[in-house]
Chain A
Amino acid sequence: MADRPLPQLPPLPDEETRTLEQAAAPADPPPEPPPRRRARPEGDDGPPRKLASAGHALVVCVLALAIGLVLNAPGAHKNAYNKPAGWQRDVALALTGPLAGVSHALLLDRPRAGVQTAVGRSGNDDIDTDLGLPPTSVATTTPATTVPRATTKKPRAATPTPPKKPAFSPKRKLRIWIAGDSLVITPGYAIVRAAGSSPAMEPVGTVDGRVATGLTRPDVFNWFDEIRHQVKELHPKVVVLAFGGNDDKGYMTGLPDGMSVGDFGSWAWRKEYGRRVGGIMDTINRAGALAIWIGLPQTSSQDQTARFDVVNAVAEKQARKRPGRAAYIDTYTMFAGDDGGFAQYLPDGSGRLEKVRADDGVHFERAGGDMIARIVLKELNKVFDLTSWRKKQTA
């Protein structure tokens, strides 16, 4: 291939000599197909392909999709279940439900299950909407990280000293885990970078940001299970969360039988969403960790911003109910422009304009993530002692 002749550069037309006749001349015939990368001896092209008719193409397409649908029926049914509420979901469920039954009865779902088992993905087609939230008696439980040790002793009556903050050091690091929907990804990595600069902090696990998920649709992704599992596995002392970007809809799965939440933002919706947000916070608290909830920012769409306000109000209320165990980070005002509205660019510390929001008007750019990370770290420094180890070291 290296020894092939160089392709000739196309000759440039001579504008000066172009005539009207030439201009009116018919277009050149279609060029020859591009030369092959390497010259091949006669017969090295492999056996010739049989061309087919357009009808053949259509029949193969239809049959392949039909057989593929039957073989993948359990996955197709789960995808249908995960669709946003509406007629499309209803139709998809009506079609894929019976199809999954037929596929199962005829054992045609076995090849898929076999491949899933072989690659360690068995159970991927299960639809799990069980929230498994802890009972709401949160007031009785307090995570170790936020309980000042001094509170177990009798407080001095005369001059109350601020409660002693739990201290962390390079030997006993503050373990931070980050999870949420797509809005957590950029700030999450910014927190990981920022935490990495302190020897007393240690991000654990990966930034668990999952696109198009939330707390209203455990069938799409069951965050309640995931968080329960990860806090047991990773033993974080802080869990940073961002949810709600996909929850601004009047539809929820995983509801108790007979319950309905009505329209988005209704009293029943707020109550149920609050139960879920509070349940997540409680799960984290019970594992002895502090929950830091990153609120939703305003977006380039005013309607969406109004809906995000509702989600934020619920999350903030739940965080307030858990002082010392949960904190709410308000990003709404953080990302407001001069006029108080959406801003894609904001000045940094030196007045230099930086792009803080992505082109979609919702997600964050790296600089935006860094802004949130600074606030999160500030919050961590309020709750935990992350610096006294330095003094001890120098002493």
Chain B
Amino acid sequence: MLFPTATFAIFFLIVLPLSWLTMPWPHRWRPFIIAASYVFYSWWDWRFVLLLAGCTIWNQVLAVRIWRTTDRARRKGLLFLALAGNLGLLGYFKYYDFFVSSTDNMAAIVGYDLPLSLKAIVLPVGISFFTFMAISYVVDAYRGEFEPTTLEKFAVYLSFFPHLVAGPIVRPSELIPQIEKPRDPRRVDTSRAFYLIATGLFKKVVIANYLASSIVDQVFAAPGQHSSLEILIAVYAYAVQIYADFSGYTDIAIGIALLLGFSFPQNFDSPYAAVSVQDFWRRWHMTLSRWLRDYVYIPLGGNRRGTVLTYRNLMLTMLIGGLWHGAAWTFVVWGGLHGVALAGERWWHGRSVAPARPPAGWPRWRARILTFHFVCFAWIFFRSDSFGSAWDMIEGLFTGWGEPSPLVTSGVLLAIAVGIGSQYLPARLPRVVMARFSRLPVLAQATVLALALMVTSVLGPEGVAPFIYFQF
């Protein structure tokens, strides 16, 4: 069930009142919201629900056991078991064929023919997100940072439909306390919720889809057939497309959760206004960044074990982050590029903890432009379906100047300008808009939203394209 569809609108109009009506009685509300979330998830494939339920039970049993056990070795063993289960699940569904084909091809190079068979495994939607949330739960219990809750509450935490398929990756300490305490039906931040939903829809349906169909898909599919200008603009367009697509989704998710009375962490904060790569990662997919920091980088030793190991830890964290996005070496290279850049920034500053600011003496605008272009360069690998294709894109940036560029239209340039320009708007502006909206009468609020819906519907393409991050 995709958010920008009539099916979801009907689903939500049923769930919203029932959720608030059952909210005062948690023993009714929790089964209800679990059932609603499972219905939402089963819309893709009912078998996925079994996977989600199995993942819930597995992690709950082990988290409780870890919490109750005092024997250090036994706790470690249980943690290992829980991680093996989660990573095994992810590995099987997401990476099995990738590992088998990579191993087989490497073996073939040295003349071995391995008897490995490939399976056409369907990737369950959102598996990367809910397994990471489950890992948070178990590891937090192991660290003694969060006491496991009941199975029912944990099931709500893991399956809550606004975040289920594409995040944000919410930590147990952020969501479970909210699940434990009924939300106050008199204090709903509706203006922020509606603002996020309306702008999220516009970003996804209008900006992201328009750029994808007008230039990005065509140029990335056959870079050799396009001029340098088209390739350059397609790279910028992809940067805006993926931002609009993913941040649009999480804006809608956060808005829907707010209408149900729940607060999710922010996931994007004007990433293309970043002044360094480290700053970029504090603004891009923030909930994944902090997950990688807390559950990969810090356990590896973080920056506490010397300069060389800090660089190693940065690289490993970013390589894992890259692989998380997809079972392909192009994603690994994308993560590696960011790892090298982060390590380079740290080296440049010559400090154990690099500040997220431009090098001394650099104007901020120069740092922003440099960071943006590095991020765009790395996106080439992220978007390309092979190294050959990525190389064609890079080569094409230099070899086709002066050729006709019919795909570079005023509409494309306007959409890119809107996508990037929106990141430089004063932070006060949305607050003013939301505050004014919150003071409008009910009918006026509804009319404003209906008009926004109409404009989005007219400007968007026919049909609904899936969100990019669903595949991750």
Contacts and interface: CB of A to CB of B under 8 A. Distances in A.
B120 A342 contact: yes
B453 A72 contact: yes
B174 A31 contact: yes
Interface in B425-459: 427-428, 431-432, 434-436, 438-439, 442-443, 445-447, 449-451, 453-455, 457-459
A29 B225 contact: no
B357 A72 contact: no
Nearest to A37: B269
Q: Bin the interface of chain B by size.
A: 35 or more
Nearest to B176: A27
A68 B454 contact: yes
A135 interface: no
Nearest to B98: A355
Interface in A203-262: 203, 206-207, 211-212, 221
B13 A61 contact: yes
B265 interface: yes
Nearest to B217: A185
B454 A12 contact: no
B9 interface: yes
A230 to B, nearest CB: 15
Contacts of B105: 352-353
Given A31-B174, A53-B188, A192 B454 contact: no
A51 B194 CA distance: 12
Contact of A52 (B68, B123, B438, B455): B438
Interface in A164-179: none
A150 to B, nearest CB: 34
B188 A71 contact: no
Given A52-B188, A344-B97, A30 B450 contact: no
A19 to B, nearest CB: 8
B344 interface: no
Interface stretch (B54-62, B83-91, B138-146, B305-313): B138-146
Given A2-B279, A28-B145, A63 B442 contact: yes
Contacts of B355: 2, 6
Nearest to B435: A47
Given A65-B13, A192-B221, A345-B97, A44 B428 contact: yes
Interface string B57-97: 00000000001101010010000000000000000000001
Given A2-B356, A44-B428, A67 B446 contact: yes
Contacts of A47: 431-432, 435-436
Contacts of A60: 190, 194, 442, 445-446, 449
A107 interface: no
Contacts of B275: 1-2
Contacts of A82: 462
B97 A16 contact: no
A194 to B, nearest CB: 10
B26 interface: no
B442 A193 contact: no
A119 B298 contact: no
Nearest to A213: B463
Contacts of B454: 68, 71-72, 111-112, 115
Contacts of B298: 9-10, 12
A299 to B, nearest CB: 10
Give the 7 A-B CB pairs with smallest separation, nearest first: A46-B431, A63-B446, A189-B221, A2-B357, A67-B450, A64-B449, A68-B450
Given A61-B259, A65-B13, 20 more contacts: A9-B298, A27-B177, A28-B146, A46-B428, A53-B188, A54-B20, A54-B186, A55-B185, A58-B20, A60-B442, A64-B445, A66-B450, A68-B457, A75-B458, A112-B454, A112-B458, A115-B454, A115-B455, A193-B224, A196-B224
